[in-house]
Structure 1
Amino acid sequence: MATAIFGAGCFWGVEAFFERFEGVTATEVGYTGGTVQNPTYEQVKTGETGHAEAVKITYDPSIITFNELVNIFFEAHDPTSKDQQGADIGHQYRSVIFYNDASQKYIGEEKIKEWGQKGIFKRPIVTRLQQADTFYRAEEYHQKYFQKNGSVACGIG
């Protein structure tokens, strides 16, 4: 098994999007990329921690590749929207690929270029690449939120 971590706005919807794909064996939502240790949702949502809401994906690379996961990432959100996805505004909702190694970084760089050249988007891609750091699992009520609560809009709270 391997892991990938993406920030693409409200983690509830991103988690639900990735769970649909064969080869994704587990997902969890949390916070990463900031400076505060063991942050809470109440802290992260202020935008003061530097953390992004993120989804950690465990996957079987013999079934789905990191390359394919990055394509799914670009389909799951608007990578041209800086620090905002829909009604969710702030650095914590940034578009970011948290790479675990040089291979993931390279694939991320190439995919940003590739998706930028497709002509799909009217604005430039603003997705960032950031070295993966400690991933702090979000509070239990955030895990599998859509499965527990139905299709509730992000941006609440």
Structure 2
Amino acid sequence: MLRIALPVAALAGALLFVSAGASSAERAVPIPAPAADVAPTKGPQVAVLAGGCFWGMEAVFQSVKGVQSVTSGYAGGARGTATYDQVSTERTGHAEAVRIVYDPHKVSYGTLLRVYFSVAHDPTQLNRQTPDVGPSYRSAIFPQNADQRRVATAYIAQLTRAKAYPKPIVTKLETGAFYPAEAYHQDFFWRNPTHPYIVRWDKPKVTAFRNAFPQLAN
């Protein structure tokens, strides 16, 4: 998204920078399911993923059966600088990220990673996603436990061996707390369906998800 700190009403007119020459609508990358997965446990589980603007990431994962909630926010930096104004400077170490609460008996961590790598973002873009440039838009996974770290590491290796992408995967596994973003960023996709950025960059992701994974779509 365009890096300015404005309320939603102002943002609606601020993102008309989207160019007519941008690339075609995103499509799902056909990738295999992970060979290893996290065994389901009792109670809701949490996944934290970063892959560009959190508006689209949030919308994709809100569309997955078994996901109970998705929160947009910042991960990888300190609490004191986890604000949009400060993250926008690209000097805080945060990544725009989403915190996904899910039922592991309805959707697995490995399945969430498959959606993440296939349609939610492009894991071959370094410190950027489509029109957004900077380390806050990096591709990063924040494992919440050892099992998630093991599965994420193995899946990246699996996709690399399979040559699933024409360029190397740049996704990194990182540590750090998650801090929710400001209220006006939450559910932005659903509250602003005609926003130029949403129409150009995020609606195609949700459509790609529903087309590629109809059995997972709610």
TM bracket, shorter-chain basis = over 0.9
C-alpha distance in structure 1 between counterparts of 2:63 and 2:160, whole Å? 25
Residue-by-residue CA offset, 1:77-107 (whole Å, 9 max, x unaligned)? 1101000100110000000010011100001
Shift of 1:115: 1.8
8 A contact 1:23–1:60 mirrored in 2: yes
- Structure 2 residue corresponding to 1:55, chosen from 95, 98, 112: 98
**2:80 is equivalent to residue 80 of structure 1:** no
Shift of 1:145: 0.2
C-alpha distance in structure 1 between counterparts of 2:114 and 2:96, whole Å? 19
* Paired positions, count: 153
For 1:120, the equivalent position in structure 2 comes to 164
Structure 1, unpaired ranges of 5+: none
C-alpha distance in structure 1 between counterparts of 2:155 and 2:117, whole Å? 9
| Alignment TM-score, normalising by the size of structure 2 | 0.68
Pick the structure with greater CA Rg: 2
3-state SS in 1 of match to 2:78: coil
For 1:7, the equivalent position in structure 2 comes to 50
8 A contact 1:38–1:136 mirrored in 2: no
Cα 1:125–1:150, aligned 2, differ >3 Å: closer, same or farther? same
8 A contact 2:143–2:174 mirrored in 1: yes
| Alignment TM-score, normalising by the size of structure 1 | 0.93
For 2:110, the equivalent position in structure 1 comes to 67
Give 1:101-140 correspondences, 5 Å limit.
Answer: 101-131=145-175, 133-140=176-183
Shift of 1:38: 4.9
For 2:22, the equivalent position in structure 1 comes to none
Percent identity, aligned pairs only, is: 41
Shift of 1:34: 1.4
Q: Moved runs in structure 1, 4+ residues, more than 3 A?
A: none
Q: What is the RMSD computed on CA atoms of the aligned residues?
A: 1.3
Shift of 1:151: 4.9
